[in-house]
Amino acid sequence: MHVVDHTKGQPSESETRNVLTESARIARGKITNLARLSAANHDAAIFPGGFGAAKNLSTFAVDGKDCKVHEDVERVLKEFHKAGKPIGLCCIAPVLAARVLRGVEVTVGHEQEEGGKWPYAGTAEAIKALGAKHCVKGVSEAHVDQKNKVVTTPAFMCETELHHIHDGIGAMVKKVLELCGK
């Protein structure tokens, strides 16, 4: 959508980036275009979230509950779901599943801001408007939708210390691996 200068918290007008190139830089390893991802070749899919999920993997940042999901993201979610393979999503990424997988249970944390601790609490209402069930969870917890094999955790939807976010993401990954039988 656009490049953000995180030192200023504002879009950088003079800079452009390629999502695939940035992904390779951040991951420091071999990556593949999402268009090539197939449930047949993997045990699970995990979407790490971050504001990029709301801006580049969907239009949620602009359109809220009326968002569209990137066609490859939608395909991957549906393919893994149909194959009965686990899907993990954290931070804002659960809105992707809420949009694509009707009736799915997800969490983005709490439903009230609680004095600024949960600044994106309104996302829970958008999830409900998309036809999904929002389950209130703490930042260090993960919610498991056993029926749909979808595991979610709030991550950076909460203003807290990093170790609490780490614990929640770890819980999500652990539950995804358990659903894989690992």
Q: Which residue among the candidates 67, 91, 135, 158 is catalytic per the annotation?
A: 91
Q: How far is CA 30 from CA 37, 126, 169, in A?
A: 13, 35, 22
135 assigned to active site: no
Helix (H, G, I), strand (E, B) or coil at 51: helix
Q: How far apart are CA 54 and CA 58, in angstroms?
A: 5
Q: How far apart are CA 128 and CA 122, in angstroms?
A: 10
Q: How far apart are CA 107 and CA 115, in angstroms?
A: 19
Catalytic residue positions?
91
